Homo-oligomer: A and B are copies of this chain.
């Protein structure tokens, strides 16, 4: 799993020729920065694949540029159609910077799920089974009240489906303290590796075990907070995970 996703050698045309959000198209248009020069067979622009990977996680790593240097921060996200949302305090510098109405702040939002450790006979062919999505775009602050509320619901629902209706929604003061930022899904690519090791033929008789160690994210028994009154039963949307 080397850092080799967008390795175009051509000058980067930026957003030239990038597809606009269009639910009718089955794929995102590849661009110089989403088209890898290596491991092409693992790359894809299929909209369903990109959506499926994004919908299977809630933590992304959001990159932006400050004073010419990269900054990468973990943050929660949610997808609504062809839009990704992140949120944070209005006092947060990256979210303040994204608050510029135009042209927005260039960001790269990356989501990665690890599914397995791939052990080959040779160290060189060790790898990782994973699913990742890289989204390039402009982050813009969301000001429309209805869109903001829908995005905040989506952020809660993406972590725990069923929870938005089973908690107190944000009041006016909390909404005023919360920045909601949107990144449109126009320039996105997925990478997926599955399957076993790909050893060299001359290595296949070496006396080392080879195969895949599956990796998964699991949820434990819910731990209730101290309740002032009688306990509240664990909701079904938690026990079903």
Contact = CB atoms under 8 A, between A and B. Distances in A.
The listed residue with most B CB atoms (<10 A of its CB), out of A61, A70, A222, is: A70
A7 B89 CA distance: 11
A218 B215 CA distance: 6
Contacts of A65: 65, 68-70
A212 B74 CA distance: 19
Interface in A200-241: 203-229, 232-235, 238, 241
Contacts of A8: 93
A18 interface: no
Contacts of A121: 167-168
Interface string A57-81: 0010111111111111111100000
Interface residues of A, number: 112
> 6 closest A-B pairs (Cβ-Cβ)?
A2-B88, A214-B220, A61-B61, A63-B70, A63-B72, A3-B75
Interface of A: 1-9, 11-12, 14, 33, 37-38, 59, 61-76, 86-89, 91-95, 106-110, 112, 114, 116-117, 119-124, 126, 128, 130, 132, 134, 136, 152-153, 156, 159-160, 163-164, 166-170, 174, 178, 196-197, 199, 203-229, 232-235, 238, 241
